[in-house]
Amino acid sequence: QVFAGASDALTVIRANPDCELVACKTWEELNLKPGLLKALYKTMKFQKPAKIQEAALPLGLRDPAENGIFQAKSGQGKTCAFSLIMLMRVNEALKHTQAVCVAPTYELALQSARVCRKMGEGIGVSVLLATSDKRSCPKFKKGEKCTDQIVIGTPGKINALLKSKVIDGKKVGVFVLDEADEMVKESGHCKDTQTIKKFMPQAQALLFSASYEGNTYELSKTLCKRKDKQGKPMRFNEIRIADVKDVLIDEIAQFYIKTGGSSNEDETKMEALASIYGSLSVGQSIIFVERKATADKLQLFMEGKSLACAKLHGGVDIELREKLFTEFVEGKRSVLIATNALARGVDVPGMSLVVNYDFPVNRDGTPAFETYQHRIGRCGRFGRKGCAFTFVHSAKDQELLDETADHFGCTVTEADADDPEELVELVKKAQDQAPASAS
Ligand code: ADP
Ligand code: MG
């Protein structure tokens, strides 16, 4: 069943066919707190709800609260959707934690905390960023309670706060999982997520992601199922993209470059990189590598070419991560070299180019479809145009790419790094053809 107000790709699955679905076309229809309504127009400058917000907000704000699994493509406004639900559900007069949001990485938690603070400024809600960065999350004394109504953080820290009762799980009304598939999957944060969930079994669970590959949808459903006091299964909502062939963003032109010219993989890949940056005038960009060591090597190479760049991965000290990430978000840096730690969620509107220096693979060597999806989704945000280059070095790389293109039903066009004029022409053509609409 296709939801009337949303794009064709959004499917709403109702646990209870009698309940009526209402798409909100304006912010006014949602009966928001006046301070939030004002923040949406004046601070955020969001004139109307995005598609996912149209669909998810009326469901997420329903009383009594219902759990939900929500899916929308990259860069379509999921953060604003769950932030609004948390901000609506907390009582700002009560000085204890009532909403908890967990994100898989430091940068993502930081970014969501900033969005939520900005939106909640006018209603006096306070937001704690709970990560290993001691500057934002101080050590709580024994018996001390967190007084912030909303806590946004990474799994380990959130878990610790609940365990030490700094946050009383029984008093938490909303539990948001951003990048939910990563949070529930076995190779991701499933252990922490399950423990966190057990501390607040009665909280409204809201799961958001652009991808639900493999068994992560089933795992998400298990997390969402709950029973009422009489033992009756409670309703939960789902908004999903029905077909995986619809999850990529049309505004992102995808190319690949064969770099198999010499046996020295890094050498030819770096040459290709130099020619991309030498010929295309890019705004902000991100280069994804699989290993930290490659990131280190690449940074030296780029700087040797007088291309200033920052490097972000799990091995970088947390205070430096905050500094570099903030500078990048503020546009003070234009090139970022990163591992998959940055593949998800990061929202930098000026990002117009993504390079897959290494193809994203799972531990068993199969293509990591969702990582490809999330990585390229760092550009082309909210209707903007973007372009992604993937380096193909070996026959194995070619297989990985072909499988990925087949999986998503997308076209990835070959580009020649040795021909700068053709490169410019190709990108221009692709971007002229891409739909130029914000959703
Ligand atoms: P997602 O989590 O779905 O990948 P984000 O929540 O990071 O996407 O949002 C992507 C961009 O869209 C952000 O820069 C955000 O400011 C913008 N955005 C979100 N909602 C709206 C809206 N209703 N109107 C205009 N821009 C919006
Ligand atoms: Mg997001």
Q: What pLDDT score does 240 carry?
A: 92
Taking residues 113-121, what's their average pLDDT? 97
Tell me how far apart the alpha carbons of residues 106 and 388 are, in angstroms, rounded to a whole number.
Answer: 24
Q: Is the CB of 111 under 6 A from ligand 1?
A: no
Nearest to 147 by CA among 133, 161, 132, 131: 161
| Phi, psi for residue 72 in degrees, rounded to 5 | -150, 150
Residues 391/257, Cβ–Cβ less than 8 Å:
yes
Which three-class secondary structure state does DSSP give residue 159? Answer: helix
The strand order across the sheet containing 386-392 reads: 310-312, 335-338, 284-288, 351-356, 386-392, 252-258, 413-415
Q: What percent of the chain has pLDDT over 90?
A: 82
Look at ligand 1, atom 19, and give the residue with the nearest C-alpha: 77
Adjacent-strand bridge partners of 287: 337, 355
Q: What pLDDT score does 167 carry?
A: 98
> Which of left, alpha, beta for 104 (phi over 0: left; psi -120 to 50: alpha)?
alpha
Distance 1 CA to ligand 1 centre (A): 25
Lowest pLDDT segment from 70-79, 192-201, 224-233: 224-233
Q: What pLDDT score does 153 carry?
A: 98
Q: Is the CB of 75 under 6 A from ligand 1?
A: yes
Tell me how far apart the alpha carbons of residues 173 and 98 are, in angstroms, rounded to a whole number.
Answer: 5
Task: List pLDDT tens digits, range 27-64.
Answer: 999 999 999 999 999 999 999 999 999 999 999 999 99
Contacts of 306 (CB under 8 A, 6+ apart): none
Q: What pLDDT score does 430 carry?
A: 80
Q: What pLDDT score does 433 carry?
A: 79
Q: What pLDDT score does 434 carry?
A: 72
**In the numeric block, which tokens belong to residue 99?**
């909403």
Q: What percent of the chain has pLDDT over 70?
A: 94
For residue 99, pLDDT over 70 is answered with: yes
Between 2 and 274, the higher pLDDT residue: 274
Rg (CA), the chain: 22
Q: What pLDDT score does 306 carry?
A: 86
Strands 236-241 and 10-14: antiparallel
**In the numeric block, which tokens belong to residue 439?**
């959703």
Look at ligand 1, atom 20, and give the residue with the nearest C-alpha: 77
pTM: 0.95
For residue 2, pLDDT over 60 is answered with: no
For residue 370, pLDDT over 70 is answered with: yes
Residues 401/390, Cβ–Cβ less than 8 Å:
yes
Tell me how far apart the alpha carbons of residues 182 and 260 are, in angstroms, rounded to a whole number.
Answer: 32
For residue 100, pLDDT over 70 is answered with: yes
Q: Is the CB of 79 under 6 A from ligand 1?
A: yes
For residue 183, pLDDT over 80 is answered with: yes
Q: Is the CB of 77 under 6 A from ligand 1?
A: yes
Task: List pLDDT tens digits, range 238-295.
Answer: 999 989 999 999 999 999 999 987 778 999 999 999 999 998 888 899 999 999 999 9
Look at ligand 1, atom 1, and give the residue with the nearest C-alpha: 75
Task: List pLDDT tens digits, range 405-432.
Answer: 999 999 999 999 889 898 999 888 887 8
b vs e for 151-172, b when ≥16 Cβ sit within 10 Å of the residue's Cβ?
bbbbbebbbbbbeeebbebeeb
Task: Please identify every residue whose CB atom is under 5 Å from ligand 2, which is an ion.
Answer: 78, 345
Q: What pLDDT score does 3 carry?
A: 37
Taking residues 159-166, what's their average pLDDT? 98
Contacts of 140 (CB under 8 A, 6+ apart): 146, 161, 164, 166
Residue keyed to tokens 């304006």: 26
Tell me how far apart the alpha carbons of residues 37 and 127 are, in angstroms, rounded to a whole number.
Answer: 18
Adjacent-strand bridge partners of 125: none
For residue 5, pLDDT over 60 is answered with: no
Between 420 and 370, the higher pLDDT residue: 370
Residues 40/260, Cβ–Cβ less than 8 Å:
no
Q: Is the CB of 76 under 6 A from ligand 1?
A: yes
Report the chain's mean pLDDT, rounded to a whole number: 92
Please give the number of the atom of ligand 1 that sits closest to the Cα of 44: 16
Q: Is the CB of 72 under 6 A from ligand 1?
A: yes
